[in-house]
């Protein structure tokens, strides 16, 4: 699991973190676009969820970047 501190487009995230789970803090969706702070990425969804709970983020979402075969965006508030 690695920390991220960068603004990126969804396309950039998909390319850089293909098939990795990405944690976003304070996500908002407007006109089909998600905006928020990229916090971490990991190969495992459970590891990211555990870290989100540990960080006690007020609002977060995580998703699998890159090509996906099943729904993979999860929101927690």
Task: Look at residue 8 and give its three-state secondary structure.
Answer: coil
Model confidence at 6, pLDDT cuts 50, 70, 90, reads low
**Token pair for 61:** 């979402």
Q: How buried is residue 1: exposed, middle or buried, by Cβ count under 10 Å (0-12/13-18/19+)?
A: middle
pLDDT tens digits for 44-69?
A: 888 888 888 898 888 888 888 887 66
**Residue 74 confidence (pLDDT):** 61
What's the number of domains the chain is made of? 1
Instruction: Give percent above pLDDT 70 in the chain.
Output: 78
Contact, 25 vs 60, CB < 8 A? yes
pLDDT tens digits for 14-32?
A: 888 888 988 888 888 877 7
Q: How far apart are the first and last CA of the chain?
A: 22
Q: Which domain holds residue 14?
A: 2-76
**Residue 24 confidence (pLDDT):** 86
């Amino acid at each position: 699991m690695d920390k991220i501190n960068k603004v990126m487009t969804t396309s950039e995230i998909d390319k850089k973190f293909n098939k990795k789970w990405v944690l976003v803090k304070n996500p908002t969706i407007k006109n089909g676009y998600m905006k928020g702070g990229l916090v971490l990425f990991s190969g495992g969804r459970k590891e990211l969820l555990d870290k989100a709970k540990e960080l006690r983020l007020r609002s977060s979402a995580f998703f699998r970047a890159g090509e996906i075969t099943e729904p993979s965006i999860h929101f927690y508030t």
